Amino acid sequence: MKLIIGLGNPGVKYAQNRHNIGFMAVDRIASDHGFGPWRSKFQGQISDGRFGPEKVALLKPETFMNLSGQSVGEAMRYLKLAPEDVIVFHDEIDLAPGKVRLKTGGGHAGHNGLRSIHGHIGPDYDRVRLGVGHPGHKDAVPGYVLRDFPKADAEWLDDLMRGISDGIADLVTGDGPKFLNAIALRVNPPRSSTSTPKPKPVREPVPEAADDRSALQKLVDRFR
């Protein structure tokens, strides 16, 4: 069984924040793949489904970001899962908007949600780092991630969610490259060329000037 966690803050006020992109991802997975209704459990909202033979639980902690580990730890203990069974979707300011990277283990890089999870289950879980961009100065980060995505980001954000949904079954079975490829096909689709190369102009042969000299005259002219 896999436990897929989306990080964010509960409530309408935070729903469209950059910090809530993890919530957005698991909501899209649940909606597109026929998961069960969300219900309150483990200090969060949980939804159950499966990809082929693999059972999957989606979890949105409602403890607020800084205490996410409480919900994750409770769910893991109840479901009898190990850290390697956990996948966390979270916002990543060190990646450009729309970029996605996979990571297993390592530090939390100052992300408060990951910091809390580290404290409850250790670092040895999988992360899906969802790029939201950086405001340019570290002092601006808290306000930046707690603001809504601007309307200008709607297109790439929707493409990203579609790609995550397309590839999630591959991620669950451990095929990270195929998961990332599914996202790339949505966010950066191959360009189809509908134009044909312009044909090169054909140069018409230049006709030679008519020569009405007699054969004898031509011969004489050669020896002048």
Which active-site residues does the annotation give? 19
3-state secondary structure of 88: strand
Residue 137 near residue 4 (C-beta atoms within 8 A):
no
| Amino acid present at 27 | D
Nearby residues of 156 by Cβ (< 8 Å), 6 or more positions away: 97, 98, 187
CA 12, chain centre distance (Å): 23
User: How many residues are there in the chain?
Assistant: 224
3-state secondary structure of 64: coil
Q: Find the Cα–Cα–Cα–Cα dihedral 10, 15, 21, 24, rounded to 10°.
A: 90
State both tokens at 44: 């969060």
Q: Which helix (H) or strand (E) holds 67?
A: none
